[in-house]
Structure 1
Amino acid sequence: MTARTTLLDREVAQAMSALSAAAKKGLGDPALAELVMIRASQINHCAFCLDMHLTIARKSGVSEKQLDLLEAWEEAGDVFDERERAALALTEAVTVLTDGFVPDEVYERAAARFTDAELAHLTGLVAVINGWNRVMVSRRIPPGGYAP
């Protein structure tokens, strides 16, 4: 598969990158941020973003076991702690939006484990990675173009 176009407006890319950086910084947990971005990218089938964020996750100290079991995090026992599980549940709910809303129990679970500010940054991070996924998938950008 070849890219449809590699053109992306520089101002758009800079704005999305700034939102991503602000959300990661406000969340304050680089490893968790990468787990969230990888999980959304798995759901959205974004090979470019998976390639990039798996590389960053390894550099951020995310364990290979977590990366191996991320797609099945709900069944992975104690591989993920409660905070990570709440963030992943929220990530899936915001990414899929099957019923048009994030279920109250998913939001409340996350709200119990994150401050209001952290929750705002987590939600922003999920929103921006979904945006990046859509930008990359719609243009069919293949993996391998990320240079750390």
Structure 2
Amino acid sequence: MTSNLLNTAGRIDLAKTSPEFFEAMMTLSSAANRGVEPEIGELIKIRASQLNHCAFCLDMHLKDARRIGVDEQKLDLLAAWREVQELYTERERAALDLAEAITDLGDGHVPDAVYQRAAAVFTEAELAQVIAMAVTINSWNRINVSVRTQPPAR
């Protein structure tokens, strides 16, 4: 396939090939990013991106997290957050647990205990936003992994 609509990996550039879809995803992202602390949002995005092996999103959200001042140790140990729970707040742990459950639906559902843990520390509006963030970053991960979007060179 030869086209000016390809990215550097030789796959379609979704923003150019389907601008309406890309714009809808940007609108979804904007809506999902409201209502919860930015630090929690970045931790959700980074953790889901780790699980989904999305290098592009990992690169972007690690930079974003550093820019807003997320503690470096939290970023360094995020893949093993359950092992160092004292490093993360209860809200962060509940959000990460829920985001992981939404990302990996191997059980076919989000376990009640995981949902209830999040519902205990977030308002209904915040809980809706945590779910929205997890769903949205999973969508972006799947898009970028599908078309092999590469992080920018430094």
Pairwise TM-score range, normalised by the shorter structure: over 0.9
Cα deviation digits, residues 32-70 of structure 1 (max 9, x gap): 100000000000000000000001011111111000000
Alpha-carbon distance between aligned partners in 1 of 2:100 and 2:13, rounded to the nearest angstrom: 28
Name structure 1 gaps, 5 residues minimum. none
Name structure 2 gaps, 5 residues minimum. 1-7
Which has the higher Rg, Structure 1 or Structure 2?
A: 2
User: Are 1:111 and 2:106 matched, yes or no?
Assistant: no
Cα deviation digits, residues 83-134 of structure 1 (max 9, x gap): 1000000000000011110000000000000000110111011001000000
The SS at the match of 1:26 is: coil
- Tell me, yes or no, if the aligned pair for 1:37 and 1:129 is still in contact at 8 Å: yes
User: Are 1:135 and 2:143 matched, yes or no?
Assistant: yes
Alpha-carbon distance between aligned partners in 1 of 2:136 and 2:81, rounded to the nearest angstrom: 22
With normalisation by structure 2, the TM-score equals 0.89
Count, aligned residues: 145
**Identity within the alignment, %:** 55
The SS at the match of 1:143 is: coil
Pair 57,3 (structure 1): closer, same or farther in 2 beyond 3 Å: farther
Alignment of 1:32-111 (within 5 A): 32-111=40-119
- Following superposition, which runs of at least 4 residues in structure 1 exceed 4 angstroms of deviation? none
The SS at the match of 1:112 is: helix
Q: Which amino acid aligns with 1:16?
A: M
Alpha-carbon distance between aligned partners in 1 of 2:115 and 2:60, rounded to the nearest angstrom: 28
Alpha-carbon distance between aligned partners in 1 of 2:133 and 2:99, rounded to the nearest angstrom: 9
**Relative contact order, CA 8 A, sep 6+: which one is greater?**
1
- Tell me, yes or no, if the aligned pair for 1:3 and 1:142 is still in contact at 8 Å: no
With normalisation by structure 1, the TM-score equals 0.92
Q: Which amino acid aligns with 1:40?
A: A
Alpha-carbon distance between aligned partners in 2 of 1:62 and 1:94, rounded to the nearest angstrom: 23
